[in-house]
Amino acid sequence: TFATLKEVLDKAKAEKYAVGAFNINNLEITKAIAGAAKAERSPVILAVSPSAIKYAGIDYIYEIACCAAKNAKVPVVLHLDHGTSFDDCVKCIRNGWSSVMYDGSKLPLEENIAMTKKIVEFAHAAGVSVEAELGRLAGVEGHVSVSERDAIFTNPDEAKMFVEQTGVDALAVAIGTSHGAFKFKGEANLDFERLDKIQKLVNIPIVLHGASGVPKEVLDRAAKYGAKLPGAAGVPNDSIQKAIGLGVAKINIDTDIRLAMTAAIREVLAEKPDEFDPRKILGPAEDAMREVAIGKMRLFESSGKA
Ligand code: G3H
Ligand code: 13P
Ligand code: NA
Ligand code: ZN
């Protein structure tokens, strides 16, 4: 059985560490994440996006996640990442998920509140946790002026009201991170002052999306074997540690796992042109992803907390 997001994050918040939420799409990624959690004795969140469900099939991905949880013997949360409708959330709740994210961040505030509240009522009645999002993650590049920040990032007073009115279990905030491998032009620049204001006003665990580090070693390995990702840049490790100190208890990672997988596959294909056994191609990729996940669990200080 899966742990709820609330159980796992309330403990993390109280003990000042963060739990990684890793996106899963197939067997190898799931085994890599669960293997890392088992090796590190770390709680873990398996995050499944609507497009992952479409890709893998809801029944397949659910069963793979069940096996992963059984094997890992640590608290494992099965979480819907970026659900965008009541139906997305209901479908996952009916299919055994222990947590859902409803992302109404693109909606006007009142509509986001109303829909989130409706999903919280449905989910809580089923014993399922809910994460919601306030503020916009996309499209922040380079230097952002104060007025631009106020327009895009999470407003602390709205966050307080949002949490009180909806009853959500965790809140994703926008403080300058974004999804994917191209987060910053130049230096990373997160609004920690805003995060601190939010954590002082909001009493639930805070979630950081778009938190991949896009590390140079992985980019170099990928580039060596043909990848072309000029300008890729992520969130530095010291910014992650600072964010955890300011109340972030769930950290979403997808890009770093994608990059590690792709780099490892490229390496095998380039170094062994006679290899065509998929297990010999995907096995090293699984190992590379497991190492990345282990590194994150240590960085987030969730290692040993299961
Ligand atoms: O934020 C989105 C996650 O990285 C999942 O991406 O929708 O391509 O599965 P996806
Ligand atoms: P990254 O693209 O930085 O890995 O973020 C993933 C994420 O936020 C998934 O919800
Ligand atoms: Na999520
Ligand atoms: Zn996200």
**Nearest Cα to 93, choosing from 113, 79, 112?**
79
Q: In terms of Cα–Cα distance, which of 21, 3, 2 is closest to 206? A: 21
Structure confidence by residue, pLDDT tens digits, 60-81: 999 999 999 999 999 999 999 9
What is the C-alpha separation between 212 and 94, in angstroms, rounded? 31
**What residue owns the CA closest to ligand 1's atom 8?**
51
**Quick check: is 81 catalytic?**
yes
- Yes or no: say if 159 and 166 are a contact pair by the CB < 8 Å rule: no
CA of 252 to the centre of ligand 2 (A): 5
From the candidates 10, 59, 81, 191, which is the catalytic residue? 81
Cβ contacts of residue 154 below 8 Å, gap of 6+?
A: 134, 135, 173, 174, 175, 194, 198
Cα–ligand 3 centroid distance for 270 (angstroms): 35
Ligand nearest to the CA of 61: 1
Residues 6+ apart with CB under 8 A from 55: 25, 26
Element (H, E) at 269: helix 255-271
Tell me: pLDDT of 45 over 80: yes
Name the residue at shortest CA distance from atom 9 of ligand 2: 252
Condensed to tens digits (0 to 9), the pLDDT of residues 164-203 reads: 999 999 999 999 999 999 999 888 889 999 999 999 999 9
Which SS3 state, helix, strand or coil, does residue 29 take?
A: helix
Alpha helices in 73-211 (DSSP H): 86-94, 109-125, 146-152, 156-166, 192-201
Neighbours of ion ligand 4 (CB under 5 A): 209, 252
Q: Which residue from 179, 255, 262 has its CB within 8 A of the most atoms of ligand 1, so it is best to mutate?
A: 179
Distance 211 CA to ligand 2 centre (A): 6
Place of tokens 């895009």: 152
Cα gap 82→94, rounded to integer Å:
17
Residue nearest (by alpha carbon) to ligand 2 atom 1: 210
Question: Does 144 have pLDDT greater than 80?
Answer: no
What DSSP line would sit under 55-85, residue for residue?
A: HH-HHHHHHHHHHHHHHH-S-EEEEEEEE-S
pLDDT at 149: 87
Per-residue confidence (pLDDT) for residue 138, from 0 to 100: 63
What is the token pair recorded at 171?
């809140």
ipTM higher than the 0.95 cut: yes
pLDDT at site 295: 98
pLDDT value of position 146: 82
Per the prediction, the chain carries an average pLDDT of 96
DSSP label at residue 142:
S
Dihedral sign from CA coordinates of 289, 295, 298, 304:
positive
* Residue 69 CB partners (closer than 8 Å, separation 6+): 1, 2, 34, 46, 76, 78
Residue 241 CA to residue 192 CA, distance in Å, equals 11
Structure tokens at 3: 């742990």
Instruction: Give the tokens for residue 42.
Output: 């770390």
DSSP 8-state secondary structure symbol assigned to residue 182: B
Best residue among 79, 184, 208, 255 to mutate for probing ligand 2, ranked by most atoms within 8 Å of CB: 255
